[in-house]
Structure formats: C-alpha cells, structure tokens
Amino acid sequence: MFGDGETRSFAGGGVRHWVALGLGVVIAGAVAGSVVAGQFDDGSQLSAAIEESDLVKVADIPSSDGAPAKGVYVQVTRTGHLCVWESVSATSRERGGGCNTVDDPLNGQALSYTLSYDGGPVVTDVRTATLFGLATPQVARAAVVMSDQTKHDIRLRNVRIGDADYRAFGYRVRRSDLKHGIAPIAVIALDASGAEIGRQTTGIG
Amino acid sequence: MRRALATFMVLAFLALSSTAVAAYQYAPPRQWTPGASAGSTYSSNWLANYFMTWGSGYDKTVTFIRNTNYGWYNTKRGTSDYLETYAPFDGTYKAHCVSHSYFWGSCNVR
C-alpha cells in the first residue's frame, strides 16, 4: 500500500513521464523535419530569397488586344540563382517565371524562355500568351515558329547581368492567331550567319 | 514541472506555426513522368505555386485552376529548375502542376 506522499509522488512522476514523452516527440519531429528538408531541396529557400532581392527590368512586352503591358525582369538571389520574371512592375505580386543556377542560367542552351498564358489548356481557349527569356550573345536573331509554320521575329535586347552578357526578350502572341487555334510551337535561335543554333519547343499547338 | 509544461507548449506552438507559414507541398518529391499531374486543395488564399526539380532543363507546367469553370489561369510552362506562377486575386483556385518529361521534383503552394 502507498501512503499519501507516495501516491502524489507516483502521480507526479506519471505526468512528468508524459511531458517528457511529448517533448521527445516534438524534438524528434523537428530533427526529422530538418533532416528531410536538408536532403530534399523543395525550393523553399529559393522561394524565400526571391522575396528579398530586387528585380531589374530588361525587356518590354507591349499591351495589345486589351492585355496590359508587362515587363521582363531579372533577379539574382542570395541562393545563387538567376530568375527571369514576367510582371507588370518590379514590385508587383503578379509575377511568374523561373530560376536556374547562375552557373547554368540557360540550361546549357543558346536560348531559354518561359511560355505564359491565360485560359486553356486547349489552344482556342487561350486568351493571351507571351514568351519571355534570355539568350546568349551568340544569338543574333530569334523567331517564334507558329503551328501554321509562319515565323515571327523576336526583338532581342542586350543586357548585362552580373559579369555576363545576355540578350533579353519578351514577345506577345497575337490574339487573332490564338482565336484561330494557331499557337507558338517553338522558338528558334539563329547566329550571325543565319544558322540555327538553338530550338526550344513550347509543347503546345 | 511548470517549466517543462511551458517549454512543451512553446515547442508545440513553434512546430505548428512553422508548418502553417511554410509552403504546402501538395506533391512531395518523387519521380515524374510525362503527363503526370497533381493538384492542391481549393482556396481563395493561395499566393503562388511552384514546381521545383532536381537538375535542369525539364519541361513542366504550373497553373491555377478556378473552381467554377475549371479554366487555367496564369499558366507558366518552361524548363527552369524552379518554375513559379501567382494566384489570381479573385475567386477560389487550386494549384496544379504537370510534368512533360522524366525528372525528380516536387510541387508546392503558399
């Protein structure tokens, strides 16, 4: 038989046991979470870094067919990424695009871009579409190839980002083409001699 | 005893709040194949949707789908390691991501 003092002591020990167990579970969960986060880069660090550094405008996308004018912006983050965004301003939350590491910003290609569109996924349901990105200085000319095999030149603008030179661009697909189901199927990069040195398909059209 | 309980409460709060602030990973890291897709829950509070891949040059799409007409909004398709789009201001949407090639990656919304 336990005396009163022994009973209180036993009950107190039980609560302490559960508190210790709870603490253990929380700490183990935190440690496990850190280990998993460390093993798999889910982009959360880059996502946070994007909010910290400034965007610099490198090209324009004029307004057309009721769609607002936009700009092409670049950003170098503390995580070592070069991001290329399409946005209405340098500070707008309405920003979309992509990031690559600064040591391979174009994925080893002569030209790299993001296709941006509203509506869809069927082409005839697409209301607006733009293409924006960067090319190497070796690219003298770029053109968008449409699904009806017509080609439209893309204006390139020389820019310097960090210690490297690039050619930036933003292009708006004509609304009349989209209405007729004509979509951009690829962007080609040509050198000064007119030879094709890069091609990236859009995957639509 | 009280100190232990207080410590426990603080740790529990920190654990829960950090989960709430962090991005919600609606498609955990996995091997993707062409045509594979994933979607988050519908919400009017999403800010951005991003697809993160390991390695570069993999074709993928991120978008927001509206709960009324199931149309795609602010769609971005490209080969960047990290591809992000933003949620429209009005209405209720779910984040949606689609793979167009073979790669390892995850989809997240915040």
pLDDT in tens, chain B (110 residues): 556 555 555 554 444 444 444 679 999 999 999 999 999 999 999 999 999 999 889 999 999 999 999 999 999 999 999 999 999 999 999 999 999 999 999 999 99
* Closest CA–CA distance from residue B104 to any residue of chain A (Å): 10
Q: CA-to-CA distance for B48 and A44, rounded, in angstroms?
A: 12
Q: Are residues A36 and A58 in the same domain?
A: no
> A155: Cβ–Cβ under 8 A, 6 or more apart, which residues?
A59, A169, A171
What's the pLDDT tens digit per position in A137-167? 999 999 999 999 999 999 999 999 999 999 9
Does the residue A67 lie in any domain? yes
B104 touches chain A (CB under 8 A): no
- Whether the pLDDT of residue A172 is over 60: the answer is yes
Is A114 within 8 Å of B78 when comparing Cβ atoms?
A: yes
Q: Is the dihedral of CA A173, A178, A182, A186 positive or negative?
A: positive
Identify all chain A residues contacting B12, using CB atoms and an 8 Å cutoff. 22, 26
Q: CA torsion B65→B75→A117→B76, rounded to 10°? A: -170
User: Structural domain of residue A179, as residue ranges?
Assistant: 54-201
DSSP for B14-73, please give it: HHHHHHHHSPEEEEEEEEE-TT-EEE---BS---EEEEEEESS---EEEEEEETTT--EE
Q: Which of B79, B35, B77 is nearest to B57 (CA)?
A: B79
Contact A113, A144 (CB under 8 A): no
Does the residue A149 lie in any domain? yes
CB nearest B56 (choices: A16, A104, A119): A104
Q: Are residues A87 and A169 in the same domain?
A: yes
Instruction: Say which residue the tokens 């429209």 belong to.
Output: B88
Q: Which residue segments constitute the domains of chain B, with CATH numbers given?
A: 24-109 (2.60.120.380)
Query: To probe the interface with A, which of B56, B63, B106 has the most A CB atoms within 10 Å?
Result: B56
What's the pLDDT tens digit per position in A35-60? 444 455 778 899 999 999 899 999 99
What's the pLDDT tens digit per position in A83-107? 999 999 999 999 999 999 999 999 9
Q: Are residues A20 and A83 in the same domain?
A: no
Give how many domains chain A has, as a whole number: 2
Does the residue A155 lie in any domain? yes
**Residues pairing with A82 in the sheet:** A76, A100
Most distant pair of Cα atoms in chain A: their distance: 100
Identify all chain B residues contacting A117, using CB atoms and an 8 Å cutoff. 72, 75, 77
B52 touches chain A (CB under 8 A): yes
Does the residue A49 lie in any domain? no
How many contacts (CB atoms, under 8 Å) link A and B?
Answer: 138
